[in-house]
Amino acid sequence: MSKSIVLVTGAGTGIGHLSVKALALAGHTVYASMRDIDGRNAAKVRELRDWAFANGADVRAVELDVLSQASADAAVATIVAERGRLDVVVHNAGHLVIGPTEAYTPEEISKVFDTNFLGTQRVNKAVLPVMRGQRQGLVLWVSSSTTRGGFPPFLGPYAAAKAAMDSIAVTMAYELARFNIETSIVVPGAFTAGTDHFANAGKPADAATSAAYAAYDGLMDQVGARLTELMPPEADPAAVAADIARIVGLPHGTRPFRSITDFVDDGVTAVTEVAERVRVEFAERIGIADLLRPSGARVD
């Protein structure tokens, strides 16, 4: 297996943090990106550095705020200056919000999209010129089973932003194929433990409108409890990180377009089987089947 230079966004916690470790243990050089690495996230950087030293792994922290194009550009420039290339970007950065959709202002929803959707575009604007110049690369997107599976209410803005990200990932897969840039979409299902996803979830500022939904009080706790009951003992978000490391380690051109880690069976697998068949058949019907896989030789 060839070793890659990998950039992981949102590496401070959760699946991003776990993915950094899984990728590094597999022998890759991993740039763990997060905001304020010299300030509020300095402790996380120290923990990763100590872990890497103890495990003989190559992990490097890099400052990257997905809300800033200048920050994304600087992060990628640092990686290329140090390593001469960038082989993989893992679009993981995101933020969960929970609350009645009506209670969110358009400006609040725009901020959700800014982090979960537009952030990937800023990173791509920095990464893709490098990969196109290399004539090779992998763009790996961490999506969500909410885009095709069942999910409860009160996740409206988050689910919408994830659906937008998933959609643009599919579109860009076609647009990048002739540059020999591969696309994989990793789809985690629900996890009730192992991340701070729900503990750190944002809420709408409009408390009065939220209170008007008192008829739903306790619903999310009820859903969480039921999901916990449905989770098998082996359900762990580390399984998503392991899948990401597995995909990155596969030979170029052989990676799955979409890979699902769903311990609850929320329907995303069944829907994806149909959707992927339709996607492939339609591409063949309109004469763009060559765009279903990366093409072209790497220029060294």
Q: What is the pLDDT of residue 196?
A: 60
Does any domain span residue 76? yes
Q: What is the pLDDT of residue 217?
A: 93
Q: What is the pLDDT of residue 2?
A: 75
CB 283 within 8 A of CB 166: no
Q: List the 258-261 sheet strands across, edge first.
A: 58-63, 29-34, 5-8, 88-91, 137-142, 181-188, 258-261
> In the structure encoding, which two tokens stand for residue 94, read together?
């995101």
CB 112 within 8 A of CB 162: no
| Number of neighbouring beta carbons within 10 Å of residue 196 | 12
Rounded Cα distance, 187 and 261, in Å: 6
What element of type H or E holds 261?
strand 258-261
Q: Which residue's structure tokens are 């004469």?
A: 287
Q: What is the pLDDT of residue 191?
A: 80
Does any domain span residue 299? no
Q: Which residue's structure tokens are 């540059």?
A: 179
The answer to whether residue 104 is catalytic is no
Print the domain residue range for 249.
5-291
Q: What is the pLDDT of residue 299?
A: 43
Does any domain span residue 38? yes
Q: What is the pLDDT of residue 15?
A: 95
Q: Maximum CA pair distance of the chain?
A: 62
What element of type H or E holds 32?
strand 29-34
pLDDT, averaged per 10 consecutive residues of the chain (300 residues), comes to 90 95 98 96 96 98 98 98 98 94 97 97 98 98 94 94 98 98 95 66 94 93 86 89 98 97 92 97 98 74
CB 260 within 8 A of CB 268: yes
- Measured distance between the N- and C-terminal CA atoms of the chain, rounded to whole angstroms: 18
Q: What is the pLDDT of residue 296?
A: 72
Annotated catalytic residue, options 31, 104, 158, 216: 158
In 3-state terms, what secondary structure has residue 58? strand
Does any domain span residue 296? no
Return the CATH number at 84.
Answer: 3.40.50.720
Does any domain span residue 28? yes
- The burial of 294, by beta-carbon neighbours within 10 Å (0-12 exposed, 13-18 middle, 19 or more buried), is given as buried
Kindly give the pairing relationship between strand 29-34 and strand 137-142.
unpaired
Written as one letter, the residue type at 14 is G
Does any domain span residue 297? no
Does any domain span residue 300? no
CB 198 within 8 A of CB 96: yes
Does any domain span residue 254? yes
- How many domains, the chain? 1
Q: What is the pLDDT of residue 189?
A: 87
